[in-house]
Amino acid sequence: DQQVKQNSPSLSVQEGRISILNCDYTNSMFDYFLWYKKYPAEGPTFLISISSIKDKNEDGRFTVFLNKSAKHLSLHIVPSQPGDSAVYFCAARSDNYGQNFVFGPGTRLSVLP
């Protein structure tokens, strides 16, 4: 059973609009969450992270929201740009499990010009 879920395999958004990518997790022991972006034929690159003691973290056009009670986090991209088209992975870890990172299956975002 996947501990980190991204239930939307794909998402299409118009350029300039908001992109919202969702991630749900089942393990309440997770205390740190990260988002990675991946282009074809490249490795994932780190985008933004959030600790479980916060409910929001912002970096430029990217904002991550964490709802611990719902075990849900989301990544907002505003405004969306064609260069944001990529696969986005949500990842989680827990201090109780050392450096074991658990990734979701990814969501493919397409930003249409």
Partner 1 sequence: EAQVTQNPRYLITVTGKKLTVTCSQNMNHEYMSWYRQDPGLGLRQIYYSMNVEVTDKGDVPEGYKVSRKEKRNFPLILESPSPNQTSLYFCASSLVGVGGNQPQHFGDGTRLSIL
Summarize as ranges the residues that interact with partner 1 (CB under 8 A). Answer: 2, 4, 6, 9, 32, 34, 36, 41-46, 49, 51, 89, 91, 93, 95, 98-106
CB nearer partner 1, residue 6 or residue 85: 6
Residue type, 31: D
Q: How far is the CB of 18 from partner 1 (least distance, A)?
A: 24
Q: How far is the CB of 43 from partner 1 (least distance, A)?
A: 3
* 67 CB-near residues (< 8 Å, 6+ apart): 55, 73
C-beta contacts of 41-49 below 8 A and 24+ residues apart: 44/89, 47/75, 47/88, 48/75
CB nearer partner 1, residue 4 or residue 13: 4
